[in-house]
Amino acid sequence: MTLPDPVFPDRAGVRHAVRVLDSGAPRYALVEGDRLALLDAAPWHGGRASGQTIARAGATFLVPCEPGKIVCIGVNYADHAKESVSVSAVPDEPVLFMKPPSALLAHGGTILLPPGVGRVDHEAEMAFVIGRRTYRASEAEARAAIAGVTAVNDVSARVLQKKDGQFTRAKGFDTFCPLGPSVALGLDPADLGVVARVGGEVRQDGRTRNLAAGALALVVYISNVMTLEPGDVISTGTPAGVGPFAVGDTVEVEIAGIGVLRNSVIAR
């Protein structure tokens, strides 16, 4: 299934960083109208304009960052806690788990459902990319550490999650971390709409202002546990409405100011 090219919302003060194939090699770029201005490195690694541009139409878009680690937060919205089978309220401290970089999938890529895993759910999430090495951050340092904002689908094999009593296998399969389509630089993560659709039907519709632990608090908390490196991703948790999808579906995660992350689904 061929899915439409990504749309990058026009918002004052926000630039969209992407990764694309250029002559078969991955390159970072900034979206400039119908062109992509190629960079010599990722923006969070000090990338500068190379002076080259390529057409946006028909470009092959890749996952827009290359994280060494993907740190995720469990049960970070009160409405999701109410629908959860494992907890009844948001925990006192953020619940951390991780997805491997091998789970990453670009906009337009195909989610592969492994045989025999049972129910697999979508979880629409706002995530952000770390822009500088950060350890034991103050709130001011946390603010400076956030390079940009993106969208994530925290795909979850629910039966395995319950069986294992932890998240690694259930959320770590290849293609179980769609991310993109861009990293929105300069976008304030404090109050963004978070929507999930399956086959065009809205399943989740929340706002990041309702996060129990917001972006700055998460950087402070996580950086007291582990050093965060440029390019690392922190995914902030999902609002209410998580539910299953199946082979043949198209799953969308839309974050206001970033655009729509759209993926098709087939059996592995």
For residue 162, give the H/E element and its range: helix 158-164
User: In the prediction, which pLDDT does 243 show?
Assistant: 96
What the block records as the tokens of 239 is 């609002």
Residue ranges per structural domain of the chain: 15-62, 70-267
From 7, 3, 4, select the one nearest 258 (Cα to Cα).
Answer: 7
User: In the prediction, which pLDDT does 80 show?
Assistant: 64
- pTM given for the model: 0.95
User: In the prediction, which pLDDT does 33 show?
Assistant: 95
- Is the CB of residue 25 less than 8 Å from the CB of residue 50? no
Give dist(CA 49, CA 70) in Å, integer.
27
Question: 65-77 b/e with 16+ CB inside 10 Å = b?
Answer: bbbebbbbbbbbb
Written as tens digits, the pLDDT of the chain (268 aa) is: 667 789 999 999 999 999 999 999 999 999 999 999 999 999 999 999 999 999 999 999 999 999 999 999 999 998 766 666 566 677 899 999 999 999 999 999 999 999 999 999 999 999 999 999 999 999 999 999 999 999 999 999 999 999 999 999 999 999 999 999 999 999 999 999 999 999 999 999 999 999 999 999 999 999 999 999 999 999 999 999 999 999 999 999 999 999 999 999 999 9
From 64, 12, 1, select the one nearest 36 (Cα to Cα).
Answer: 64
**CA angle centred on 128, ends 122 and 129, rounded to 5°:** 125
Q: Where are the beta strands (DSSP E) in the chain?
A: 15-22, 25-32, 35-39, 49-55, 61-62, 70-74, 95-99, 104-105, 110-113, 120-122, 124-130, 146-153, 156-157, 177-185, 193-198, 201-207, 233-235, 243-244, 250-255, 259-267
User: In the prediction, which pLDDT does 78 show?
Assistant: 83
Which 3 state secondary structure label does DSSP give 69? coil
User: In the prediction, which pLDDT does 90 show?
Assistant: 75
User: In the prediction, which pLDDT does 4 show?
Assistant: 78
- CATH classification of 70-267, choosing from 3.40.50.850, 1.10.540.10, 3.30.70.120, 3.90.850.10? 3.90.850.10
Which 3 state secondary structure label does DSSP give 24? coil
From 206, 215, 260, select the one nearest 235 (Cα to Cα).
Answer: 215
Measuring CA to CA, how many Å separate 183 from each of 6, 15, 214?
12, 8, 18
Give every CB contact of residue 51 below 8 A, 6+ residues apart in sequence.
none
Question: 136-147 b/e with 16+ CB inside 10 Å = b?
Answer: ebeeebbeebbb
In CATH, the number for domain 15-62 is: 2.30.30
